[in-house]
Amino acid sequence: MKKWIKRGLKAIIFLLFSFVFIQLLMYGYAKLTPKLEIKSANAVMMYDKDNTLFFQGSGTQEWVNLEDISPYLINATISTEDKHFYEHFGFDYLRILKSFYINIMSGSTSQGASTISQQYAKNLFLDFDRTWERKIKEMWLTMQLEVHYSKDEILEGYLNTINYGHGNFGIENASNYYFNKKAKDLTLAEAAMLTGIPKSPANYSPLVNYDIAKKRQISILNRMQENGYISEDEKNQAMAEELTFIGEKNTINTNTVMYYQDAVMRELESIEEIPESYLETGGIRIFTALDLTAQKALEENVKDNIEADSNLQVASVMMDPDTGSIFALIGGKDYTTSQYNRAVQSKRQVGSVMKPFLYYAALENGFTSSTSFMSQETTFTFSNNKTYSPQNYGGTYAGKPISLATAIAYSDNIYAVKTHMFLGEEVLVDTAHRLGITADLQAIPSLPLGTAEINIMEMAAGYAAFANQGYRVSPHLIERVEDLAGNVLYQASNKKEQVLNSNLTYILSQLLTSTYDAAFIDYSYPTAINIAAKLTHTYALKSGTTDTDHWSIGYNPEVVTAVWIGYDDNQSLDTSDYKYSRNIWADTMEDYMANKEDSWYAQPENVVGVLVNPITGNPATSEDTKTKILYYLRGTEPTGLEPVFDELTDKEKEPA
């Protein structure tokens, strides 16, 4: 037994000496590496379309020296984050062992052991992936910091780069934002409150949840007393001090612009032209397409339409159809409560906003604005006696032939599936992919009803091809990236590829105005008729509904706006929820077009307008109470003798 103990002790001693030896070698090698320029490391500056700086992360615009930071803040940070900061060489091994033991015994990972040096190293990266490669880089950078800089310099850098919430990086920015004062003037109570935020800015910001923030402040004050930084009287006075929060910045600050910033960083990671060295130590300037006026309007319209206490979520993008540049983006209702960026990270069922892809393909394959199918309950029968019975919303059917224009106005599902089956199920898949949709689309009967899950940015880019009269564009937020010396590292190409016929996109765009046109009121109402009074400009618009999602996507030559609303847990929507996406869309488009003349498309030479009965699509007669000019390729104008297309589909079974 004693032999095993001796062998075990020898093994442990050998491993400890080996570990120490390897550490010494690594520290020695780190000493030989070039000194990191920590004041520019990971200095990320973002500019809007007018080249105005709207965000600067990991480094402030004005680097504040350690002596210009309140001693209360410094002591609170050390006491809370790393009480042995001035004693170790980057890693607190006893703390690591203790947290490892606690996590094993508790079966959780609640205990952390990162030192201030390690956290600062983490701040010098642009991403926070939890990979082994990422951890190794972080450890190596920690060693480089420790051998090249003093403890005071590391602490100074840490306090100038840490996230204090609401887009505030660095203690000087945070002091100005929360208390309208310089960091050197913070009181003990204010310092303890700010020190508590970085652990979880979304939870511990006093502007988000004061009660939770107050509890954390008290915990920090207790630690400061235990560690000998303050007396009990000082602690009690600080606990009792009533704080006044300003919550404003002199610079630009909108709540949801953080979603835009996050989307920019995600896009940056995908750009191969940006060397990793710039991301880690060089500093970069990112010139984006952000239009702050549009962004603020979009944010306000979300706030005005969705109740603050609702669990309903939202995503929206505004895009320049000529370039694919996204100049406004919202990934959720409130960044402070949820950083999940639904505009970038989520895919949702798209519902009937899929139908314009189908109807463009139909126009390519000989359909016209007047092409008609019967609108009635229909069961489609396939091989092996499989059936499919789609339903119209509310169970409303015309019981007669309706035109393509009417099918779009009412979002008639029967018409859509009949068109889909008539063309062949692969046609819609191919058309969507041609327009840039990368989602895995299944050639199934329900595809035109939007059963596929697609990202909102891709959907906006697909509609952009209709808006720009036939050109496929790539959605993007970044226009140009430069290093701090002004050298261009990346330039967006904004290339356009013509994939659609401009004559047909004109006809489709005209058809998509029917969704809010009173001329189509007949046996039912156009799907967006309830927002018609809001619209003072001409737009193409389509909405889409599933049990869990509601979409509104529309455009004119200047802008494509897409809005999605739904619940993160896929809770079913109530019919009263549908109004939110339409109203956000309408209000946002009208705000964007305010004080601008109506922007619409010039009629192509090969397209003619014909006065027709909009429901049947037949040429108008004196007996028609409602008429509408619909558009056709020259030579395909309706005569009133066209057949109803149902007789050409032999795979459906009509009910008795």
Residue 446 CB neighbour total at 10 angstroms: 16
- Confidence (pLDDT) at 30: 57
- Residue percentage of the chain with pLDDT more than 70: 82
Query: What are 402's strand-pairing partners?
Result: 373
Which of 143-147, 314-318, 337-341, 478-482 is predicted least confidently?
143-147
Q: How confident is the model at residue 485 (pLDDT cuts 50, 70, 90)?
A: confident
- Confidence (pLDDT) at 380: 85
How far is residue 409's CA from residue 121's CA, in Å, rounded to a whole number? Answer: 57
- Name the residue with higher pLDDT: 575 or 410: 410
- Confidence (pLDDT) at 514: 98
Residue in 58, 70, 81, 117 annotated catalytic = 81
Residue 652 annotated in active site? no
pLDDT in tens, 220-256: 999 999 999 999 999 999 999 999 998 754 444 456 6
Q: How confident is the model at residue 44 (pLDDT cuts 50, 70, 90)?
A: confident
- Confidence (pLDDT) at 437: 96
Q: How confident is the model at residue 394 (pLDDT cuts 50, 70, 90)?
A: confident
pLDDT at residue 459 is higher than 80: yes
pLDDT at residue 281 is higher than 70: no
Structural domain spans, the chain: 57-253, 301-653
Q: How confident is the model at residue 327 (pLDDT cuts 50, 70, 90)?
A: very high
pLDDT at residue 336 is higher than 80: no
- Confidence (pLDDT) at 360: 98
pLDDT at residue 654 is higher than 50: no
Residue 334 CB neighbour total at 10 angstroms: 17
Tokens of 415: 């018409």
Query: What are 318's strand-pairing partners?
Result: 328, 561
The strand pair at 453-454 and 372-374 is best described as unpaired
Fold of the domain built from segment(s) 57-253 = Penicillin binding protein transpeptidase fold (1.10.3810)
| SS3 state of residue 373 | strand
Going 52 to 54 to 58 to 60, the CA torsion angle's sign is positive
pLDDT in tens, 492-538: 988 889 999 999 999 999 999 999 999 999 999 999 999 999 999 99
How far is residue 633's CA from residue 369's CA, in Å, rounded to a whole number? Answer: 10
Which of 58-72, 165-179, 232-246 is predicted least confidently?
58-72
- Confidence (pLDDT) at 250: 46
Q: How confident is the model at residue 82 (pLDDT cuts 50, 70, 90)?
A: confident
Q: Cα 294 to the chain's mean position, in Å? A: 16
pLDDT at residue 209 is higher than 90: no
pLDDT at residue 475 is higher than 90: yes
pLDDT in tens, 85-112: 887 765 655 655 555 555 555 554 444 5
- Name the residue with higher pLDDT: 217 or 335: 217
Which of 240-254, 383-397, 621-635 is predicted least confidently?
240-254
Listing DSSP states for 580-641 in one string gives HHHHHHHHHHHHHHTTS----PPPPTTEEEEEE-TTT-PBP-TT-S--EEEEEETT----S-
CB 390 within 8 A of CB 414: yes
How far is residue 520's CA from residue 50's CA, in Å, rounded to a whole number? Answer: 43
pLDDT at residue 68 is higher than 90: yes
Per-residue pLDDT, averaged over 633-642, amounts to 91
Per-residue pLDDT, averaged over 42-58, amounts to 80
pLDDT in tens, 190-201: 999 999 999 888
Amino acid (1-letter code) at residue 96? I
The chain-wide mean pLDDT, for the chain, equals 86
- Name the residue with higher pLDDT: 96 or 9: 9
Going 80 to 153 to 138 to 12, the CA torsion angle's sign is negative
CB 113 within 8 A of CB 96: yes
Which residue has 């190596």 as its token pair? 140
- Confidence (pLDDT) at 199: 87
Q: How many alpha carbons lie under 13 Å from residue 237 in its C-beta half-sphere? A: 7
CB 563 within 8 A of CB 584: yes
How far is residue 142's CA from residue 91's CA, in Å, rounded to a whole number? Answer: 8
Per-residue pLDDT, averaged over 7-30, amounts to 66
CB 324 within 8 A of CB 475: yes
| SS3 state of residue 218 | helix
pLDDT in tens, 606-620: 999 999 999 999 999
Query: What are 348's strand-pairing partners?
Result: 454
Listing DSSP states for 414-436 in one string gives HHHHHHHHHH-HHHHHHHHHHTT
How far is residue 533's CA from residue 530's CA, in Å, rounded to a whole number? Answer: 7
- Confidence (pLDDT) at 386: 84
End-to-end C-alpha distance for the chain, whole angstroms = 90
Which residue has 């005071």 as its token pair? 152
- Confidence (pLDDT) at 60: 44
CB 124 within 8 A of CB 41: yes
User: Measuring CA to CA, which residue among 205, 327, 201 is closest to residue 263?
Assistant: 327
- Confidence (pLDDT) at 190: 96
Residue 474 annotated in active site? no
- Name the residue with higher pLDDT: 89 or 373: 373
Fold of the domain built from segment(s) 301-653 = Beta-lactamase (3.40.710)
How far is residue 543's CA from residue 545's CA, in Å, rounded to a whole number? Answer: 7
- Confidence (pLDDT) at 143: 75
Amino acid (1-letter code) at residue 128? F
- Confidence (pLDDT) at 630: 98
- Confidence (pLDDT) at 321: 97
Residue in 58, 346, 352, 581 annotated catalytic = 352
- Confidence (pLDDT) at 538: 98
Which of 13-22, 62-71, 73-82 is predicted least confidently?
13-22
Per-residue pLDDT, averaged over 64-84, amounts to 92
